């Protein structure tokens, strides 16, 4: 471990825990959901918007920022926090998931891929991924990993596991230390034995925290949770665990119940931009004609600034005429609603009643949830 991060557990309920992560920048509560600011901003929102909702950590993406505007430019302008106007914590994904969606050429040393921006061929290695994230100046960086699609053969999953482990070791050795924390990543697909093996290897390398990647990529919920349990069982108790790319209501609550501390997902803002809201009654399509004359808020039980001020009818009007403000308002509501759900989960862990919340969320979202 680099010593750049400290994690303290403050309450437990079974495997679930409430804690606090402390870095040189300050601290943030866990469990936490991290809005995705791929290119340095959460889509259709400003840093001030996200800050006003109470978020303490956002995610930025190494692949996109290394391509545009370039990590060197970000460094010259004072680092990612000064560049984006965000004073809270920033975690940078290594870009591995995005790169592997581009059908790259992978070898033991790294990955070669074609940029979606200009068609140029680019090379990413465990060492260069670390160096780029150092230039960005994020608070937490992720190692470069091999993310296999599911389903995959045992041979493909085994090779991905071995390369991810080797790349994690190389990233750890290349990391310069200082105030930037480094998280390893567990792979293994939907095979619980491979998940446990990957977690043991990654934990043995000694990181500040541990990401669990390559889940929620097409496998069933049951398969995801079984693989998650296998990984978590092998990870240290005194380090934060981060379930990458999961942010639906059931996934959040079930992940928390299994000892996960950090989550990220594009789901709340992607749904919001298309006019779908997360509510206490489940998903709500605000594009429906049923809301054309509805003076009520998106969710009567939600105290967020959007629900306090604007009606379903107005937001539907904005969406219907293609006004970007509509998607921005629904995105803001969705992020507020999701943060409220995580806060409720934290309170339930502290009170020892997380099981009741799991049942409630399961009933609401099992049919027709995201």
The residue written with tokens 């943060």 in the block is 339
DSSP H or E segment with residue 267: helix 267-273
Residue 294 catalytic? no
Instruction: Enter the tokens of residue 305.
Output: 């600034």
DSSP H or E segment with residue 178: none
Are the beta carbons of 312 and 297 closer than 8 angstroms?
yes
- DSSP structural state of residue 236: -
Instruction: Kindly report the number of other CB atoms within 10 A of residue 236's CB atom.
Output: 15
Residue 264 catalytic? yes
CA separation (Å) from 257 to 13, 240, 357?
8, 14, 10
Q: Of 93, 145, 190, 248, which is the active-site residue?
A: 93
Q: What residues pair up with 106 in beta bridges, in sequence order?
A: 111
- DSSP structural state of residue 214: S
Are the beta carbons of 261 and 5 closer than 8 angstroms?
no
Catalytic residues: 93, 264
């Amino acid at each position: 471990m680099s010593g750049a991060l400290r994690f303290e557990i403050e309450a437990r309920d079974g495997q679930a825990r409430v804690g606090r992560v402390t870095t040189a920048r300050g601290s943030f509560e866990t469990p936490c959901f991290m809005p995705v600011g791929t290119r340095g901003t959460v889509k259709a929102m400003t840093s001030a918007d996200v800050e006003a909702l109470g978020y303490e950590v956002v995610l930025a993406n190494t692949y996109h920022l290394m391509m545009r505007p370039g990590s060197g430019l970000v460094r010259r302008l004072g680092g990612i926090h000064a560049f984006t106007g965000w004073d809270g914590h920033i975690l940078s994904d290594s870009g591995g998931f995005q790169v592997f969606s581009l059908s790259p050429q992978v070898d033991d040393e790294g990955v070669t891929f074609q940029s979606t921006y200009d068609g140029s061929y680019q090379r990413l290695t465990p060492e260069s991924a670390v160096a780029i994230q150092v230039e960005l100046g994020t608070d937490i960086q992720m190692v470069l990993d091999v993310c296999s699609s599911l389903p995959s053969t045992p041979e493909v999953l085994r090779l991905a596991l071995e390369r991810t482990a080797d790349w994690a070791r190389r990233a750890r050795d290349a990391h310069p230390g200082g105030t930037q924390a480094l998280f390893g990543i567990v792979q293994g697909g939907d095979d619980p034995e491979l998940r446990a093996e990957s977690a043991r290897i990654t934990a043995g390398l000694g990181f500040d925290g541990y990401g669990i990647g390559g889940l929620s990529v097409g496998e069933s919920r049951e398969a995801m949770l079984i693989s998650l349990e296998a990984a978590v069982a092998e990870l240290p108790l005194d380090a934060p665990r981060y379930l990458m790319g999961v942010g639906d209501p059931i996934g959040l609550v079930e992940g928390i119940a299994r000892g996960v501390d950090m989550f990220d997902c594009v789901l709340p803002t992607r749904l919001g931009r298309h006019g779908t809201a997360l509510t206490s009654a489940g998903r709500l399509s605000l594009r429906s004609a049923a809301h054309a004359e509805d003076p009520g808020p998106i969710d009567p039980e939600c105290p967020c600034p959007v629900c306090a001020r604007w009606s379903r009818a107005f937001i539907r009007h904005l969406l219907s005429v293609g006004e970007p403000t509509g998607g921005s308002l629904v995105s803001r509501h969705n992020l507020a609603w999701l943060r409220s759900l995580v806060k409720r989960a934290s309170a339930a862990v502290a009170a020892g009643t997380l099981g009741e919340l799991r049942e409630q969320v399961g009933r609401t979202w099992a049919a027709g949830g995201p």
